[in-house]
Amino acid sequence: MNDRSFIERCPACNSTELERHVIVHHMICAYVGPEYDFGRNSERKHCPKCMRGLVARGEDWEVVGTSVLCGQCGSERILPP
Ligand SMILES: [Zn+2]
Ligand SMILES: [Zn+2]
């Protein structure tokens, strides 16, 4: 399949209102959660579990996947990064 015009749809309700969030793994405490859990302020992100600030990607945190959330029915899927 090479169709670049493909529009991703929710498998549950067929909606195209999909929201994507990066899933972050905090290696120091093993917390895994969506990027917004680490704070919406992009300058000073911190872990909601251990409250430590994030330092550098690949050093103390990494991206483990992308969460695709349907804005219509609320179903969520996790895709590999
Ligand atoms: Zn942490
Ligand atoms: Zn849906």
- Per residue in 46-74, pLDDT tens? 999 999 999 999 999 999 999 999 999 99
pLDDT greater than 90 at residue 2:
no
Centre of ligand 2 from the C-alpha of residue 77, in Å: 10
Can you say how many angstroms the Cα of residue 11 is from the centroid of all Cα atoms in its chain? 18
Ligand located closest to 19 CA? 2
pLDDT greater than 50 at residue 16:
yes
Ligand located closest to 76 CA? 2
Centre of ligand 2 from the C-alpha of residue 69, in Å: 8
pLDDT greater than 90 at residue 6:
no
Span 14-28, mean pLDDT? Answer: 95
Ligand located closest to 25 CA? 1
User: Which distant-in-sequence residues (6+ apart) come within 8 Å of 39 by Cβ?
Assistant: 45, 46
pLDDT greater than 80 at residue 39:
yes
